[in-house]
């Protein structure tokens, strides 16, 4: 898709947002070639809005991702088992603790984990270059291309996976499909585009809640895909669910093309393949962005500190989530599939309770304190889980985490408010890359910590996660106190 196609996607349909403060800052000065790229024109005021905009795009894309991720891992397990001649079932220490370890099963587990790592690293390494490029480009060319192209790339990945399954090709072709998806931006580009779009169409007051709605879409689609995927695979195998993955990505791209109105005035001269887009991301974090207005050491520090908070929070989320099932399967809990399903449902329902809690707390608390309350809820829940030795105690831990997703929308919103409207795409592309890094870091750290600490405390990784979350809670609270002190000083001086 070239620039003229981008500009002609939806002529005359430009949606923008909002508040008077945001509109005053929408007029962007031209930068020179060495600086950060900018649109160079004033975005028109908002003339059209709906309560639903890009939420279906994110819901459908996340649904396809959550549906295919566990299925592809199980397919790798079955294919590698078939190749090695292993036909045993995975044994649990609760039922087969007296049996010696099966070396062939261990080899299957190792190879499956390695191929999962190769596929994840392949997508991450390509996305690390492509996502910032697309995100910054969307500040000039518009958000809709960044919602459409990655969905088509994910659909292409599903096609490759289907070909592998139909023809029983070597599993290395899964990596080929992942790389093709990475070249189009992968799911992280969709994340960046959706959050940047919401930042475009929302004012500063409503932005946190709109971001929280998007995050709730992630949780609900993940829950639905988890319920459907496991049952469907047992009934019909792998191929039919992957046809749904393909269809879902195509429907998401079609919805973005037909129903999503552009929120950025497209610049027909915007080029995709240029170093200016990566320079825009560098400019964002090296100077604090255009909105820091040259004086902004404190502004730049806030950008870095909120990004650090986001990294720590999301790393804990990803890392601890991978351990829950393993923790529940083994002694002393020894849960079966039904209880594990209920536990997963409780985790995903926390997305809704967090959204509701955030909405209620916003009436009486600043956003920063809402985030701190969410982190406290997460910390208390993790502490209970770390010592859980009964089903009742484990579900108590899940219940205490009912606000655990209230912090990340606040952090995304805080970061969005720190940068200029013409830099939202570059910002959320950076955040999406950080999120990928969180997945790799969380998976590596917590999966290594769990076996290393089994001999003295099985729940130690959850205790460690709770301790880590004290850091962002302290940073967010401190920054809020500093902001209140500065505001009080400014009001006194005036």
Q: What is the pLDDT at residue 326?
A: 77
Using alpha carbons only, what angle is made at residue 344 by residues 238 and 446, rounded to the nearest 5 degrees?
A: 95
* Closest of 124, 120, 118, 113 to residue 188, by C-alpha: 124
Q: What is the pLDDT at residue 42?
A: 37
Q: Judging by beta carbons within 10 Å of its beta carbon (0-12, 13-18, 19+), is residue 201 exposed, middle or buried?
A: buried
Give the Å distances, CA to CA, from 268 to 5, 47, 409.
9, 22, 33
CA–CA separation, 32 and 34 (whole Å) = 5
Q: What is the pLDDT at residue 385?
A: 95
Q: What is the pLDDT at residue 33?
A: 39
Other Cβ atoms closer than 10 A to 330: 16
pLDDT over 60 (residue 28): no
Radius of gyration of the CA atoms of the chain, in A: 23
pLDDT over 70 (residue 168): yes
Q: What is the pLDDT at residue 411?
A: 96
Crossing angle of helices 103-141 and 144-167, rounded to 10°: 150
CATH superfamily of 290-487: MFS general substrate transporter like domains (1.20.1250.20)
Domains of the chain, by residue range, sit at 54-85+105-263, 290-487
The percentage of the chain sitting over the pLDDT mark of 70, rounded to a whole number, equals: 83
pLDDT over 70 (residue 95): no
Query: Please, which pLDDT band fits residue 160 given cuts at 50, 70 and 90?
Result: very high
pLDDT over 90 (residue 18): no
In CATH terms, are 54-85+105-263 and 290-487 the same topology? yes
CA–CA separation, 185 and 182 (whole Å) = 5
Whether the link from the prior residue into 197 is cis, omega within 30° of 0, is no
Query: Please, which pLDDT band fits residue 7 given cuts at 50, 70 and 90?
Result: very low
293: left (phi over 0), alpha (psi -120 to 50) or beta: left
pLDDT over 60 (residue 10): no
Strand partners, 262: 14
Cβ-contact 255, 109 below 8 angstroms: no
Query: Please, which pLDDT band fits residue 347 given cuts at 50, 70 and 90?
Result: confident
Q: Tally DSSP H helices, then E strands, for the chain.
A: 18, 0
| Residue 119 vs residue 298, higher pLDDT | 119
Query: Please, which pLDDT band fits residue 448 given cuts at 50, 70 and 90?
Result: confident
The token pair that represents 197 in the structure block: 């779009």
* Closest of 310, 259, 250, 323 to residue 63, by C-alpha: 250
Q: Highest mean pLDDT: which of 324-333, 391-400, 478-487? A: 391-400
Q: What is the pLDDT at residue 291?
A: 59
**pLDDT, tens only, 278-332:** 777 777 887 766 555 444 677 889 999 999 999 999 999 988 887 887 788 778 8
Average pLDDT over every residue of 171-194: 92
* Closest of 197, 243, 191 to residue 221, by C-alpha: 191
Q: Does the global pTM surpass 0.85?
A: no
Query: Please, which pLDDT band fits residue 100 given cuts at 50, 70 and 90?
Result: low
Sign, CA torsion 207/277/429/244:
positive
Average pLDDT over every residue of 71-93: 76
CATH superfamily of 54-85+105-263: MFS general substrate transporter like domains (1.20.1250.20)
């Amino acid at each position: 898709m070239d620039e003229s196609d981008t500009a002609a996607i939806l002529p005359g349909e430009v949606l923008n947002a909002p508040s008077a403060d945001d509109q005053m800052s929408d007029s962007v000065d031209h930068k020179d070639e060495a600086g950060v790229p900018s649109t160079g024109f004033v975005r028109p005021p908002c003339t059209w809005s709906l309560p639903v905009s890009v939420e279906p795009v994110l819901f459908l894309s996340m649904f396809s991702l959550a549906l295919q991720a566990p299925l592809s891992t199980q397919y790798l397990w079955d294919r590698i088992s078939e190749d090695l001649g292993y036909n045993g079932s995975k044994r649990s220490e609760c039922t087969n603790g007296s049996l010696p370890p099966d070396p062939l099963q261990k080899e299957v587990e190792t190879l499956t984990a390695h191929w999962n790592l190769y596929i994840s690293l392949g997508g991450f390494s390509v996305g690390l270059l492509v996502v910032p490029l697309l995100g910054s480009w969307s500040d000039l060319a518009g958000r809709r291309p960044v919602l459409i192209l990655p969905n088509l790339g994910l659909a292409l990945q599903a096609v490759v996976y289907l070909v592998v399954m139909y023809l029983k090709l070597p599993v290395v072709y899964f990596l080929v499909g992942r790389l093709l998806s990475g070249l189009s931006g992968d799911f992280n580009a969709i994340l960046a585009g959706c959050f940047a779009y919401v930042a475009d169409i929302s004012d500063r007051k409503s932005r946190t809640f709109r971001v929280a709605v998007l995050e709730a879409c992630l949780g609900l689609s993940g829950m639905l895909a988890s319920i459907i995927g496991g049952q469907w695979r047992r009934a019909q195998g792998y191929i039919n669910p992957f046809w749904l993955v393909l269809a879902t990505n195509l429907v998401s791209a079609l919805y973005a093309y037909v129903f999503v109105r552009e929120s950025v005035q497209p610049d027909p001269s915007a080029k995709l393949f240029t170093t200016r887009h990566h320079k825009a991301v560098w400019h964002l974090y090296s100077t604090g962005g255009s909105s820091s207005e040259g004086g902004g050491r404190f502004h730049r520090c806030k950008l870095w500190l909120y990004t650090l908070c986001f990294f720590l929070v999301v790393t804990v989320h990803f890392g601890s989530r991978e351990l829950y099932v393993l923790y529940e399967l083994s002694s002393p809990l020894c849960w079966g599939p039904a209880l594990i399903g209920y536990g997963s449902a409780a985790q995903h329902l926390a997305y809704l309770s967090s959204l509701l809690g955030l909405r209620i707390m916003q009436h009486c608390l600043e956003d920063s304190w809402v985030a701190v309350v969410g982190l406290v809820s997460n910390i208390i829940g993790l502490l209970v889980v770390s010592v859980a030795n009964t089903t009742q105690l484990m579900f108590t831990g899940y219940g205490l985490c009912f606000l655990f997703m209230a912090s990340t929308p606040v952090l995304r919103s805080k970061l969005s408010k720190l940068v200029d409207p013409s830099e939202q795409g570059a910002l959320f592309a950076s955040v999406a890359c950080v999120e990928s890094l969180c997945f790799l870091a969380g998976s590596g750290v917590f999966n290594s910590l769990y076996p290393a600490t089994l001999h003295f405390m099985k729940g130690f990784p959850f205790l460690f996660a709770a301790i880590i979350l004290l850091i962002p809670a302290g940073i967010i609270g401190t920054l809020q106190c500093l902001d209140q002190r500065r505001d009080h000083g400014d009001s006194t001086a005036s």
